[in-house]
């Protein structure tokens, strides 16, 4: 009896690390760190994964700067503040200098963005009492806006300790 090959019995051969990473990048941008982790989880060894990532970088298919710009645009559109963006970009392996450059290049008016988030969430009416102001301030702080920005938008007393982490 003739034995069936892997392709005949429905199992596909495992793609190369390069092809796997290229397929991931075809769906959306990924940071180099994120791709390395996904390749490792897929069973690709460090040297093969590293070579694939180097090749993708040389071909400009994977670019951490482009990834960071895309992520910042997306998160700003979702209403997140600069402190949240810093943390997320850092988790993707970007350096502090690169994060600063990307955030500066984004040219976002953070005060206007915070005010827009308040309007979206609470409407155009101002906060009637201090408890409501504090609630709105906490909402903006959780979204990653600095205390100074929150204070200027809500006119609430906000602790500056949250800014020390940025």
pLDDT by residue (tens digit) across 83-118?
999 999 999 999 999 999 999 999 999 999 999 999
Q: Where in the chain are the domains?
A: 14-62, 63-108, 110-165
Per residue in 22-74, pLDDT (tens digit) is 999 999 999 999 999 999 999 998 899 999 999 999 999 999 999 999 999 99
The pTM of the full predicted model, rounded to 2 decimals, is 0.79
| Cα angle for residues 68, 71, 75 (degrees, 5° grid) | 140
CATH of 110-165, one of 2.60.40.2310, 3.40.190.10, 3.50.50.60, 1.10.10.10: 1.10.10.10
- Strand (E) positions, 64-128? none
- What count of other Cβ atoms lies within 10 Å of the Cβ of residue 117? 20
């Amino acid at each position: 009896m003739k034995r069936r090959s892997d392709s005949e019995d429905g199992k596909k051969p495992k793609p190369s690390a390069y092809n796997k990473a290229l397929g991931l990048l075809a769906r959306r941008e990924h940071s180099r760190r994120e791709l390395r982790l996904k390749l490792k989880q897929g069973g690709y060894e460090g040297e093969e994964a590293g070579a694939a990532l180097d090749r993708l970088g040389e071909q400009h298919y994977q670019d951490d700067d482009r990834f960071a710009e895309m992520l910042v645009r997306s998160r700003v559109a979702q209403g997140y503040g600069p402190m949240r963006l810093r943390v997320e970009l850092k988790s993707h392996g970007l350096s502090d200098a690169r994060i600063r450059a990307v955030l500066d290049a984004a040219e976002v008016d953070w005060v206007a963005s915070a005010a827009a988030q308040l309007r979206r969430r609470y409407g155009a009416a101002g906060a009637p009492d201090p408890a409501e102001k504090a609630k709105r301030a906490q909402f903006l702080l959780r979204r990653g806006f600095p205390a100074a920005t929150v204070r200027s938008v809500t006119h609430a007393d906000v602790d500056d300790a949250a800014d020390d982490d940025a």
